[in-house]
Amino acid sequence: MTTKNTPGLPSLGAEGISLARLVVLGLATLSFVTAAAGQLRLSEQASAAFIKADGGYSQYAVNRGRATFAWRLDLFADAAINGNIFFLSNLRMLQDQIIHVDLFAIKFADLASTGLNLEAGEIELPFGNLGERRFPKSNPFYGLPLTHEHVTTLRSSDYSLWPSTSYYAIAGDGVRILDQGLYDLGVKLYGGAGMFDFWIALMNGMVSATSTYSTGYGSSGLNTNSRLGMIGRLAMTPLTGVTLGGSYATGPFLKEGGAYSPGGGVDPSEIDQHIVEADLDFSLEHAALYAEVFYNVWTFKEAIGSDLNAFGYSVEGRYTLLPRFLIALRAGGLRFNDVSVDTYNGGYFIQHYEGPWDHDVFRLEGALGYRLDRSALLKIVYEWNRTFRVPEDPADNVLVMQAVVGF
Amino acid sequence: MLIAQAGWANLHSRPFIFLAACLLLLPEYGLLAQSGVRGRVVVPANDEFAEELLRERSLTRYEMHLHTTGDPVQPYRLSEKAVIYLESTEAASAAYDPPALHPQLNQSQMLFRPLVLPVLVGTTVDFPNNDDLFHNVFSYSQPKEFDLGRYPRGHRRSVHFDHPGVVNVYCDIHSYMYATILVLENPYFVVPEDDGGYNIDHVPPGAYRITFWYGRKKVSERPVLIEEGKTTVVNFDY
């Protein structure tokens, strides 16, 4: 959970409202055209939440600890043009009433009867095992795993680190390690053979800073440096209910044309993000387990003297106690390496800094869910957050009550 | 029953008498006509249910191997999606013994088969998984709430239905999958033949309501009077 307005996802801000309306109008038109032929599937997930966080100084303290209501709407509009060509889209709106276009892709299925599928446009990035859990109805918690939520001290727009300035360090003002729901403009090819499934993707940005990332210098959606990001993923399902997966992503993540040089005479396009992850999905009877571990490097060594590394994990278990009644537990943590760098301290001068480039964090979440109906879920979630290697662990636990309906 | 009482051996030794007896016993000849109802249902030629389910399946985003599920999916036969049943409009009806054999609601090719399953109250229904992936069958319908969890191909779970009513069944993993179990108070129900013909016999005389259920909903319902020794004809047009 963050205090920010989901900057990791493409957003059509105030200047983009008219475009957003055009998108909605386009989808509405599409719905009229295709609904007549029975080709369109429109569905929504709407949720309303009450959130009360502790009032500590932390990026996890939603609304700075002031109790607040919030809502979210996800609109899915998918069309089957024919048996092999599809249009897929997700639109998401929060209480700020800005429309975020998450997914906007054309899918070609079973290319030349090879079993291969191709998606192009704004695609869901094939990294990790988040899957349907990114949507409120399939997510027993309020937020995503910490890897997708924690805002680091590293900014992609001006190449700055803010580890020595508590405002930026703990409040968070940089990129996430994985950019929330993980969507970007690009293309992906995927398919399966036997127990194996694979994905290959090329995209404008990187998993920590997609091309639609909107902080700093805004977002055009277009590629902001001279190379593309790449993702490969392989998963195997040796038994029904057991899937082991691994993903690797690499590519430049900095935006060219930022305000500051990354340092050392290094071109921004030479600074890459490399991230590798492994995951496990297991389910049987009324239990399900999702686990993920990853290791991430941003290659800043030549520029500032140290690479920026992060290690993270997430383990989520859920159990259906009775029909309608669900219990879930999730633990996740992030660890960051020590650096010795010359960096900006929040002003306009360089300062030498030695220490962790971000603060290690741990989050334990517990959730109870009750299904009023097949398509209506009530949740109560408690997040217990801990921040390490800081003088004082900020009070930033969070209580959320959320109602979700799908229709 | 009458034939059995007459004795097979005795009749078999006198073939002409046996043939004549059979003819006289046929309901069409009216001498020993069964009380009941028969007729025909007319439905659209295309199978809109399978088409819709397959379209939804093709749009599923988080399941791989969707295009390699083996044999092509066969459309639902009429007997898998239509039911005609009688409900007594008079005082409490008699108790009936549920069948010893468990009817099945199959999970196959990521669809439920049949689409509609009529059962007598007190019946236990089996839910076998015939797919190489998990399903999670559940229902929150008032007559019976259940959640069967996930189990692999070749395994089954069973549910006992002890209250009458409409039970909507879904899969928690594949949201487009659905089926309906009609838990009925008496055994006077039938699924139509592929040509639409149906016949419910051995119905005690009395006032009933006859219902035609097709796919997800009750299409038509009308009163019908069953008279002793007579077969009433009721046709339904969707």
Write out pLDDT tens, residues A295-343: 999 998 888 888 999 999 999 999 999 999 999 999 999 999 998 877 6
> In angstroms, rounded to a whole number, what is the distance separating the alpha carbons of residues A116 and B113?
29
Q: Which residues of A touch B65 (CB under 8 A)?
A: 192, 197
Going by the DSSP 8-state scheme, the letter that residue B104 receives in this structure is B
Q: What is the mean pLDDT of residues A357-380?
A: 95
pTM of the full structure: 0.85
Residue of A nearest to B146 (CA): A323
A226 CB neighbour count, 10 Å cutoff? 11
The verdict on a CB contact (< 8 Å) between B149 and A286 is yes
What is the three-class DSSP state of B181? strand
Residue A373: partners with Cβ closer than 8 Å, 6 or more residues away: B140
**Confidence class of residue B9 from pLDDT cuts 50, 70 and 90?**
very low
Helices (H), A158-219: 166-171
Q: Is residue A78 within 8 angstroms of chain B, CB to CB?
A: yes
> In angstroms, rounded to a whole number, what is the distance separating the alpha carbons of residues A243 and A234?
10
Size of interface A-B (CB pairs under 8 A): 70
- d(CA A48, nearest CA chain B) in Å: 22
**Residue with the two structure tokens 């043009």:** A81
More confident: A54 or A339? A54
> In angstroms, rounded to a whole number, what is the distance separating the alpha carbons of residues B200 and B41?
13
**pLDDT recorded at residue B77:** 94
Mean pLDDT over all residues of chain A?
85
Kindly state the tokens that stand for A403: 């109602």
What's the gap between Cα A221 and its chain centre?
16
Q: Is residue A347 within 8 angstroms of chain B, CB to CB?
A: no
What's the gap between Cα A166 and its chain centre?
24
The verdict on a CB contact (< 8 Å) between A86 and B68 is no
Best of A74, A78, A104, A130 to mutate (most B CBs within 10 Å, chain B): A78
Q: Which residues of A touch B51 (CB under 8 A)?
A: 38
Residue of B nearest to A283 (CA): B150
Going by the DSSP 8-state scheme, the letter that residue A285 receives in this structure is B
What is the three-class DSSP state of A141? coil
Whether A272 contacts A234, CB under 8 Å: no
Least confident range of B10-19, B188-197, B223-232:
B10-19
pLDDT over 90, % of chain B: 66
Q: What are phi and psi of A166, to 5 degrees?
A: -60, -35
- d(CA B102, nearest CA chain A) in Å: 22
More confident: A379 or A227? A379
Per DSSP bridges, beta strands B36-42 and B231-233 are parallel
- d(CA A218, nearest CA chain B) in Å: 30
Q: Which residues of B touch A284 (CB under 8 A)?
A: 149-151
> In angstroms, rounded to a whole number, what is the distance separating the alpha carbons of residues A385 and A331?
10
Which H, E and C letters describe A58-113, residue by residue?
CCCCHHHHCCEEEEEEEEEEEEECCCCEEEEEEEEEECCCCEEEEEEEEEECCHHH
Query: Which run of H or of E encompasses B24?
Result: helix B15-25
A115 CB neighbour count, 10 Å cutoff? 17
Q: What is the mean pLDDT of residues A190-216?
A: 86
User: What are B's interface residues with A at a Cβ cutoff of 8 A?
Assistant: 51-52, 55-56, 58-59, 61-62, 64-68, 132-134, 138-140, 145-147, 149-153, 168, 170
Sheet holding B206-214, edge to edge: B189-190, B82-88, B206-214, B217-226
With CA atoms as reference, report the closest residue to A10 among A289, A286, A291, A205. A205
ipTM of predicted assembly, 2 dp = 0.83
**pLDDT recorded at residue A31:** 58
The verdict on a CB contact (< 8 Å) between B61 and A241 is no
Whether B115 contacts B217, CB under 8 Å: no
Q: Is residue A322 within 8 angstroms of chain B, CB to CB?
A: yes
